[in-house]
Amino acid sequence: MYRVIVLYGQEPDAGQYAEHVELFGNVPNGVFRHGRITGAPMGEPAHAYFAEWEFADRDAFDAFVGSEQFMASGKDAYKRGFPQPMVEFLELS
């Protein structure tokens, strides 16, 4: 299983984020999830909001991260003024 994870230091505007998800949340052969980060084991969490795309196999993951949709998602988030996120790729074993 493969994931693209997106971590925001501040929560994006709810209305703007809902529009963003409507445009980019539906991906071929993948599942999209997002939500608030509610805590950490000690002190305040380093991030406030989380999003991820999940893919069952490497081919679906590679197709998505190389797609125009993935690149357009980042451009749209920037244009909407979302906080600068940390984006990372993850392989689950």
Q: Which of 1, 2, 29, 24 is nearest to 78 (CA)?
A: 24
pLDDT of 33 higher than 90: yes
Could you tell me the CATH number of the domain that includes residue 7? 3.30.70.100
Specify the residue for token string 């052969």.
29
According to the model, what pLDDT value does residue 20 have? 93
Sheet holding 2-8, edge to edge: 30-36, 49-55, 2-8, 86-91
Domain span at residue 24 reads: 2-91
Specify the residue for token string 């805590």.
39
The pLDDT tens digits for 12-27 are: 999 999 999 988 888 9
DSSP secondary structure code for residue 43 in this structure: S
| pLDDT average, residue stretch 63-68 | 94
| pLDDT average, residue stretch 73-90 | 94
By the 8 A CB rule, do 83 and 9 touch? yes
The pLDDT tens digits for 46-55 are: 999 999 999 9
Average of per-residue pLDDT values in the chain: 94
pTM here is 0.89
According to the model, what pLDDT value does residue 23 have? 86
Instruction: Count up the domains in the chain and report the number.
Output: 1
